[in-house]
């Protein structure tokens, strides 16, 4: 048996193995892939260069203002090129000392600006949330016309309404009063805040409020206890823009509260520091650094909600 098996195995034809051939690499395809990689790398480099230049244009003015604020003589320009980038002539904080503790009531101006800005932020949130909730949740006649009217008001330049605003506040007895300035700022931020909050409210399911109503809440309770906590990012955006509107604005503040100096806001009062023949650039630079601090603090406190409020508020409108 074994010999027959051995002979059969010996006489069996060998298995034919197909040769493995490798596909030739197409040079044209390889060159195309290399060219695409180079173009992608070149586009990335150009993008980074553009971003770096944009950052320099945005950051250098602030850095230059800081350099002017710490120069001993407070000069704006210098013949020495190194002074445009480094404090080569020395460091002095006399400008800060003069601004804050000089003859002018700097802290009164700062307090006026803070009160007006915070009040504008509060009023913007209070008015815009109510208006946005009404437009988002209730169907009534003239709803679409109201939204279109808001857009038309936003397209109208605010400077052109300066005379009308001052006349209106004069008739109301609010000319020269910080309350009139707060009212004007709140009205100016109403359009953007209402549209942004309305878009955010539209993204929140109505069923959540209906569940609160079933549990015993009324409309106001469901709004304050359910909807507003879910809308904190959009509310933060509204408060932040309201604060900015009342913090650094000059035209309305100079027209509505021209005097006395103690009641003026910080931008208007600082402009009055310049004489007819000379401009204290060192004082202006030091004051601008101080003015930027509250805005930076508020942005730092709200940064977690700012991006979500801007993006989610524009999803559905």
pTM of this structure: 0.75
Residue found under tokens 């002539």:
89
10 Å Cβ neighbour count for 273?
15
CA-to-CA distance for 204 and 222, rounded, in angstroms? 13
Domain ranges of the chain: 31-84, 105-313
Written as tens digits, the pLDDT of the chain (317 aa) is: 444 444 444 444 444 444 555 555 455 566 676 777 778 888 889 999 999 999 999 899 889 889 888 888 777 777 677 777 887 777 888 888 888 888 888 888 889 999 999 999 999 999 999 888 888 888 888 888 888 888 787 777 777 888 888 898 999 888 888 899 999 998 888 888 888 888 888 888 888 888 888 888 888 888 888 888 888 888 888 888 889 888 888 888 888 888 777 888 888 888 877 654 567 888 888 888 888 888 888 888 877 766 555 555 444 44
| Class in CATH terms, 105-313 | mainly alpha
């Amino acid at each position: 048996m074994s010999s027959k098996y051995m002979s059969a195995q010996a006489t069996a034809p060998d298995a034919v193995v197909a040769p493995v051939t490798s596909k030739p690499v197409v040079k044209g395809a390889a060159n195309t892939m290399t060219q695409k990689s180079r173009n992608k790398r070149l586009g990335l480099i150009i993008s980074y260069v553009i971003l770096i230049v944009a950052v320099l244009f945005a950051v250098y003015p602030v850095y230059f203002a800081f350099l002017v604020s710490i120069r001993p003589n407070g000069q704006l320009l210098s013949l020495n090129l190194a002074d445009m980038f480094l404090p080569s002539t020395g460091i002095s904080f006399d400008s800060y000392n003069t601004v804050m503790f000089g003859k002018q009531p700097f802290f009164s101006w700062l307090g006026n600006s803070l009160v007006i800005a915070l009040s504008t932020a509060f009023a913007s949130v209070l008015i815009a949330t109510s208006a946005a909730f009404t437009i988002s949740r209730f169907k009534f006649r003239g709803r679409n016309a109201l939204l279109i009217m808001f857009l038309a008001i936003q397209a109208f330049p605010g400077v052109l309404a300066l005379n009308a605003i001052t006349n209106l506040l004069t008739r109301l007895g609010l000319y020269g009063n910080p309350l009139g300035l707060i009212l004007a700022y709140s009205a100016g931020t109403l359009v953007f805040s209402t549209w942004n909050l309305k878009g955010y409210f539209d993204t929140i399911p109505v069923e959540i409020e209906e569940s609160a109503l079933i549990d015993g809440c009324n409309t106001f309770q469901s709004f304050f206890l359910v909807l507003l906590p879910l809308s904190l990012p959009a509310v933060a955006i509204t408060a932040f823009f309201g604060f900015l509107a009342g913090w650094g604005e000059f035209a309305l503040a100079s027209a509505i509260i021209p005097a006395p100096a103690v009641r003026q806001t910080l931008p208007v009062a600082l402009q009055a520091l310049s004489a007819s023949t000379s401009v204290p650039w060192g004082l202006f630079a030091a004051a601008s650094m101080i003015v930027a601090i509250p805005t930076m603090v508020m942005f730092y406190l709200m940064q977690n909600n700012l991006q979500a409020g801007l993006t989610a508020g524009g999803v559905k409108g």
